Amino acid sequence: GQNIDQPTEMTATEGAIVQINCTYQTSGFNGLFWYQQHAGEAPTFLSYNVLDGLEEKGRFSSFLSRSKGYSYLLLKELQMKDSASYLCAVRGPLTGANNLFFGTGTRLTVIP
Amino acid sequence: NAGVTQTPKFRVLKTGQSMTLLCAQDMNHEYMYWYRQDPGMGLRLIHYSVGEGTTAKGEVPDGYNVSRLKKQNFLLGLESAAPSQTSVYFCASSQRGAQETQYFGPGTRLLVL
Give the per-residue pLDDT at A110.
Answer: 98
Best to test chain B binding among A100, A106, A107 (most B CBs inside 10 Å): A100
Which residues 57-86 of chain B have a CB within 8 Å of chain A?
58
Residues of B in contact with A62 (CB under 8 A): none
CB within 8 Å: B104 and A43? yes
Name the residue of chain B whose CA is nearest to A34's CA: B101
Q: B85: helix, coil or strand?
A: helix
Residue-averaged pLDDT of chain A:
94
- β-pairing, B10-13 with B108-112? parallel
- Over residues B31-88, the pLDDT tens digits come to 999 999 999 888 999 999 999 999 999 999 999 999 999 999 999 999 999 999 999 9
Q: Is the peptide bond before B8 cis (omega within 30 degrees of 0)?
A: yes
pLDDT, tens digit, 9 for 90 and up, residues A51-82: 999 999 999 999 999 999 999 999 999 999 99
Is B99 in Cβ contact with A50 (below 8 Å)?
A: yes
Question: Judging by DSSP bridges, how do beta strands A9-13 and A106-111 pair with one another?
Answer: parallel
Q: Per the CB < 8 Å rule, is B106 touching A41?
A: yes
The answer on pLDDT for A27 being more than 90 is no
Q: Cβ–Cβ of A42/B102 closer than 8 Å?
A: no
Mean pLDDT on A35-44: 96
Could you give the C-alpha distances from B14 to B19, B38, B39, B89, in angstroms and in order?
11, 19, 21, 17
Confidence of residue B20 (pLDDT cuts 50, 70, 90): very high
pLDDT in tens, B81-108: 999 999 999 999 999 887 889 999 999 9
Residue A94 has pLDDT above 80, yes or no: no
- Contact flag A105-B99 (C-beta cutoff 8 Å): no
CB A14 within 8 A of CB A112: yes
Instruction: With beta carbons under 8 A apart, name residues in chain A contacting B44.
Output: 102
Q: Is the pLDDT of residue A1 over 70?
A: no
**Average of pLDDT values for A18-38?**
94
* Model pLDDT, residue B100: 87
CA distance B57 to chain A (A): 10
Instruction: Report residue A26's pLDDT band, with 50, 70 and 90 as the boundaries.
Output: confident
